[in-house]
């Protein structure tokens, strides 16, 4: 999905525009226990285009002088978005702060669309021409308050979206990405993987700032590493953009078969790790928990088990994810990584035969009686796999409301025991028959 940022001085109407575009569809969901999210972006749509809208005012800088705030906003927008909407106040003309922002945006070579807000009636359009002076082409008169002119503005914005790669992902290639908080060793792990193997290609145009795709051939398998860690520290703005880098991670996750969630054995598990892992879990991708920097830990026969217990306790919803301990730096245990990725990917796209699935379900029903609600008992008729990536099952029942969370969980575990879905979430839907 493309990313659009709205920048502009305080009170120019950014949040009105933001709310108009997003409507009720704020995409922040918190239905996984232990997962929290920052509200810094939202999903929006115009015609058939869906995009992520980022709120560059999401970082509280109210103590800073206006120009500092504006510069920071512009830099975040440049770093994180595909198209920038530069919003101005049509009743005040171009101010010094606007000119400052224009200068920064101009140098970035990102597409910028000028919205001149608070043009609530046609007479006010007369002054629109002065906004051509900013050098970003046609300024669009809009009224956020009355919802006027937004259509033309958005047509232009959408027109700038980069073409999605029409190169269909190769079915035999495993796409994986690495996520984790800064300094867990994402870049080091990518380098470590690449140093020991032949790199075939290393390119991607257009969206290079999001990720670098690198092909890797290892253990008779083609992989593509979707590397978002290439975006390195860029001075002052780094801390702010780090917050927005969530978007980059989400885009990489979307394109992945398997996501490596990196933890740092040296510093241990942090709150931020849980948040990051939550994104991968919600996206329904294959997941491997990688405990990096294992060289820093004095190991005895118990250390690995102890660390594993900690991880299991903190990431209960990732109980299906295997844990790999390694050191990107010394390459200790590096050989265990690609086999784990392969297994997770195979399981992520695994299809099971319907007859065997139903045998498993019937055995499960015999083992553990179905729950009842108000005297009515859940009846399970049959089950079928409806999708892969992740494997998804529909279980036909007399009444879906009777399918408790705990019984669904029980069926999931039986299915996992029978077919081995290590490394991938699976989904179970109850439907009325």
User: What residues form the annotated binding site for GTP?
Assistant: 8-15, 55-59, 117-120, 180-187, 227-231, 292-295
Q: Least distance in Å: CB of 264 to ligand GDP? A: 8
The reply on whether position 327 binds ligand GDP by CB under 6 A is yes
Please identify, among the stretches 85-93, 96-104, 184-192, 366-374, the one whose residues bind ligand GDP according to the rule CB under 6 A: 184-192
| Side-chain-facing half-sphere of 278: CA atoms under 13 Å | 18
Judge contact between 300 and 272, C-beta under 8 A.
no
* Cα distance between residue 185 and residue 417, in whole Å: 33
195-224 residues in contact with ligand GDP (CB under 6 A) are none
Between the two ends of the chain, the Cα-to-Cα distance in Å is 36
Judged by beta carbon, residue 117 or residue 256, the one nearer ligand GDP is: 256
Neighbouring-strand partners of residue 55 = 6
The reply on whether position 328 binds ligand GDP by CB under 6 A is yes
The reply on whether position 385 binds ligand GDP by CB under 6 A is no
Judged by beta carbon, residue 183 or residue 208, the one nearer ligand GDP is: 183
The reply on whether position 378 binds ligand GDP by CB under 6 A is no
* Cα distance between residue 433 and residue 430, in whole Å: 9
Q: Least distance in Å: CB of 306 to ligand GDP? A: 19
User: Which of 16, 95, 108, 187 lies at the binding interface for ligand GDP (CB under 6 A)?
Assistant: 187
* Cα distance between residue 251 and residue 266, in whole Å: 28
User: Which of 27, 36, 183, 372 lies at the binding interface for ligand GDP (CB under 6 A)?
Assistant: 183
Instruction: Identify which of 286, 279, 46 has the alpha carbon closest to the alpha carbon of residue 181.
Output: 279
Judged by beta carbon, residue 27 or residue 272, the one nearer ligand GDP is: 272
The reply on whether position 293 binds ligand GDP by CB under 6 A is yes
Judge contact between 359 and 398, C-beta under 8 A.
no
Instruction: 219-223: list long-range contacts, CB under 8 Å, 24+ apart.
Output: 219/338, 219/339, 219/342, 221/174, 221/338, 221/342, 222/170, 222/172, 222/173, 222/174, 223/173, 223/174, 223/175, 223/176, 223/338, 223/341
Helices of type H across 109-209: 150-159, 186-195
The reply on whether position 185 binds ligand GDP by CB under 6 A is yes
The reply on whether position 173 binds ligand GDP by CB under 6 A is no
Please identify, among the stretches 324-332, 346-354, 367-375, 402-410, the one whose residues bind ligand GDP according to the rule CB under 6 A: 324-332
The reply on whether position 292 binds ligand GDP by CB under 6 A is yes
The reply on whether position 299 binds ligand GDP by CB under 6 A is no
The reply on whether position 230 binds ligand GDP by CB under 6 A is no
SS3 category, 259: strand
Please identify, among the stretches 56-64, 149-157, 325-333, 381-389, the one whose residues bind ligand GDP according to the rule CB under 6 A: 325-333
Q: Please tell me the total number of residues recorded for the chain in this structure.
A: 433
* Cα distance between residue 272 and residue 270, in whole Å: 5
- Interface with ligand GDP (CB under 6 A): 180, 182-188, 229, 292-293, 295-296, 327-329
């Amino acid at each position: 999905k493309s990313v659009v940022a709205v920048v502009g001085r305080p009170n120019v109407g950014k949040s009105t525009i933001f709310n108009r575009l997003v409507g009720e569809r704020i995409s922040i969901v918190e239905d996984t226990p232990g997962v929290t999210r920052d509200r810094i972006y939202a999903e929006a749509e115009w015609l058939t285009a869906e995009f992520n809208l980022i709120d560059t005012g999401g970082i509280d800088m109210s103590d800073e002088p206006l120009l500092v705030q504006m510069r920071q906003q512009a830099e975040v927008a440049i770093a994180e978005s595909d198209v920038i909407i530069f919003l101005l106040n049509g009743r005040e003309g171009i101010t010094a702060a606007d000119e400052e922002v224009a200068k920064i945006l101009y140098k970035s070579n990102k597409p910028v669309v000028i919205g001149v807000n608070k043009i609530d009636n046609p007479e006010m359009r007369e002054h629109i021409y002065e906004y051509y002076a900013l050098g970003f082409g046609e300024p669009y008169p809009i009224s956020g308050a009355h919802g006027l002119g937004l259509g033309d503005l958005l047509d232009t914005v959408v027109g700038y979206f980069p073409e999605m790669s029409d190169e269909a992902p190769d079915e035999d290639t495993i796409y994986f990405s690495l996520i984790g908080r800064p300094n867990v060793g994402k870049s080091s792990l990518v380098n470590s993987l690449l140093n020991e193997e032949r790199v075939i290609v290393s390119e991607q145009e257009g969206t290079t700032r999001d990720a670098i795709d690198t092909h890797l051939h290892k253990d008779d398998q083609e992989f593509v590493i979707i590397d978002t860690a290439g975006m390195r520290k860029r001075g002052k703005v780094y801390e702010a953009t780090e917050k927005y880098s969530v978007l980059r991670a989400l885009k990489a996750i979307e394109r992945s078969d398997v996501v490596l969630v990196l933890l740092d054995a040296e510093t241990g598990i942090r709150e931020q790790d849980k948040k990051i892992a939550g994104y991968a879990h919600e996206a329904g991708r294959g997941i491997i928990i990688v405990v990096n920097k294992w060289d820093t830990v004095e190991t005895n026969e118990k250390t690995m088990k102890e660390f594993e217990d900690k991880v299991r306790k903190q990431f209960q919803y990732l109980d299906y994810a295997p844990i790999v301990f390694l050191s990107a730096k010394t390459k200790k245990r590096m050989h265990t990584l690609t086999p784990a990725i392969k297994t997770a990917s195979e399981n992520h796209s695994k299809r099971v035969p319907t007859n065997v699935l139903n045998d498993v379900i019937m055995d499960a029903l015999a083992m553990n009686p179905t729950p009842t609600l108000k005297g009515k008992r859940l009846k399970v008729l049959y089950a079928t796999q409806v999708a892969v990536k992740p494997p998804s099952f529909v279980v036909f029942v007399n009444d879906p409301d009777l399918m408790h969370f705990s019984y669904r969980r029980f069926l999931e575990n039986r299915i996992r025991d029978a077919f081995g879905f290590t490394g991938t979430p699976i989904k179970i839907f109850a439907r009325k028959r």
